[in-house]
Amino acid sequence: MKVVLANPRGFCAGVVRAIDIVGLALERFGPPIYVRHDIVHNEHVVADFASRGVVFMEHLAHVPKGVRVIFSAHGVGPAVWREAADRALSVIDATCPLVTKVHQEVAAYAKAGRTVFLIGHRNHPEVIGTLGHYLGDPSRIHVIETEQDAERVEVEGPDHVGYATQTTLAADAVAPIIAALRRRFPRLCAPHAADICYATQNRQRAVRTLTTTCDVILVVGARKSSNSVRLCEVAEAAGVPAYLVGCATDLNQDWFGGAGTIGLTSGASVPDVLVTQVLHRLRLWWPDLTTTSIGQAETLQFRLPRELERAAKVAPLVHDNARADGCQQC
């Protein structure tokens, strides 16, 4: 059996930044540190932080007044910021800068009086947060999940519309939705640069390469991680069976009957230790397993919030992509 490892895989710059923010806040301020929502969508990362004194909350109402709180990489709307101010919370913002870009686009559309089509998953925290940045009539921003939604949506002022997208979607899936909107609204305004983030596109491109030589694709990632789920969809669209696994214990040897080459990648919020554990499990089944890799790792880094930059210079974090200890059963 042969395994081909995809590059890039695992943590993107936005996830590294968010995880570093929580780690540095722990070191500088000590526990407890409160985080609204999971800092990133990976249960192993969250569990590791929880064991070190980080408290994850879905609603600020459950956070004690006057304490420090971190907003997750997925971003929030202005109403959440106002609630934090009302509760005298000291906020550290771990929103991915590429999500912030989409917030700014939506706010600009609202200021210009444009109706907005927000392409994404209605219940995803990134989309929920982005909706709040349309500071106008909320009936003039529409979540578009499918091509059918694009064909059905009706708006006033069809010549004054624009679109934005969730950052973690698959470009191939978004393209027909945008095409349908353009067909119906010829004067549709587009973002100056694509909203789907570079890391999402790079990981999807690597999976497409895997599908040209691999019989089965394994994607390490959480089921609530949009970008991880999209990687499976990209493989399946190319006609290659793909399986999403949270960690090595989720593997099923029956998946590989007749396979000679396995492609292995991971979502943008997955520590590489989980990939290592998957490889270990595969080697138990095939002791003569060989591994190769394709592509190149990413090198982009995002700047930390100012209040933590000094702490990072004094005691820089070493995250082995990263701190999460992975599945204790592996």
Please classify residue 210 by burial: count the beta carbons closer than 10 Å to its beta carbon, then call 0-12 exposed, 13-18 middle and 19+ buried: buried
CA distance 53 to 68: 13
State the number of CA atoms in the 13 A half-sphere of 59 facing the CB.
2
Quote the Cα angle for 105-75-312, to 5°: 110
The active-site residue, picked from 43, 58, 105, 126, is 126
| Distance, C-alpha 226 to centroid of its chain | 6
Q: Are 278 and 270 in contact (CB under 8 A)?
A: no
Radius of gyration (C-alpha) of the chain in whole angstroms: 21
Active site residue 126: yes
CA distance 174 to 191: 14
Q: Are 78 and 129 in contact (CB under 8 A)?
A: no
Handedness of CA 165, 169, 171, 177 (dihedral sign): negative
Within the chain, residue ranges assigned H as helices are 13-29, 43-51, 78-86, 97-111, 125-131, 147-152, 171-184, 198-211, 226-237, 272-285, 306-314
Q: Which residues share a beta bridge with 4? A: 263, 292
The residues annotated as belonging to the active site are 126
